[in-house]
Amino acid sequence: MTRLAERPDLSIIAEWIAPRTRVLDLGCGDGELLQHLARRKQVSGYGIEIDDEHIPECIRAGVNVIQMDLDAGLSEFDDDSFDYVVLSLTLQAMRYPRRLLEEMLRVGRQGIVTFPNFGHWSARVQLALRGRMPVTRALPSTWYDTPNIHLCTLKDFESLCREMGIHVLEKRAVDHRHKSGLGLRLLPNLLGEIALYRFRRG
């Protein structure tokens, strides 16, 4: 099972989630985030995962998991079923990201999303100087072998939020070690490799 130390973005997400709340983790992997939240914050909830290999891992960890395709929507859940809906490093792999954001805020009071920032300076340099799709620490796959189909920048995501009437409550841009600093706070779209957002309906 993945340890939170190996995925510092999950540690930041865990900081944002209040104790004794209900969480839906979309693309939950092996269930480590939900297991951590249940153990440390008495959080309850469900994970959704499509990968056959991760389902038994979730079950062994005591995580309630449902196997389903996120692109099919969240119709199995009623409105306002959860306090938080989490989508970590998965938005860029969705066919219908806007629709999934709408669904997140239908079934949850708040959403938390993380994604690799395509506006990072290293991606810009590779496109500008080499004329090729970038390969970076946050985007390690080549263009023909990547699960990512809707890459975006921080500015792209914030523009979509405004268009959808989504109110951003908190955001953070971090480097590949998921650390922040003055430069990242001043120039998040240029220096941030991973973006993290917490939001609600406007």
Residue 50 vs residues 2, 26, 66, 149: alpha-carbon distances, Å: 17, 10, 8, 17
Kindly state the tokens that stand for 117: 């920032």
Q: How far apart are CA 31 and CA 2, in angstroms?
A: 9
Structure tokens belonging to residue 110: 């708040």
- Burial label, 24 (beta-carbon count in 10 A; 0-12, 13-18, 19+): buried
Query: For residue 46, is it within any domain?
Result: yes
CATH code of the domain in which 195 resides: 3.40.50.150
In a domain, 33, yes or no: yes
DSSP secondary structure letter of residue 117: B
Residue with tokens 């995962």: 49
Distance CA 52, CA 200 (A): 31
Q: Residue 80's CB: how many other CB atoms inside 10 A?
A: 12
**Per-residue confidence (pLDDT) for residue 101, from 0 to 100:** 97
Q: Is 132 a domain residue?
A: no
* Three-class SS state of 196: strand
Into how many domains does the chain fold? Answer: 1
Does 90 map to a domain? yes
Residue 115 lies in a domain: yes
Whether 45 maps to a domain, the answer reads yes
Q: Is 74 exposed, middle or buried (0-12, 13-18, 19+ CB in 10 A)?
A: buried
* Nearest one of 138, 13, 7, 21 to 87, comparing CA atoms: 13
In a domain? residue 101? yes
Domain membership of residue 180 as a residue range: 4-120+152-201
Which tokens hold the place of 82?
Answer: 């959860």
- Note the pLDDT of residue 22: 98
Q: Residue 131 domain-assigned?
A: no
Looking at residue 6, its pLDDT comes to: 62
Q: What is the DSSP letter of 70?
A: G
- Reading the chain (202 residues) residue by residue, the pLDDT tens digits are 556 656 768 889 999 999 999 999 999 999 999 999 999 999 999 999 999 999 999 999 999 999 999 999 899 999 999 999 999 999 999 999 999 999 999 999 999 999 999 888 888 888 888 887 878 877 877 878 777 788 899 999 999 999 999 999 999 998 877 677 777 888 888 988 999 999 999 8
CA distance 198 to 85: 10
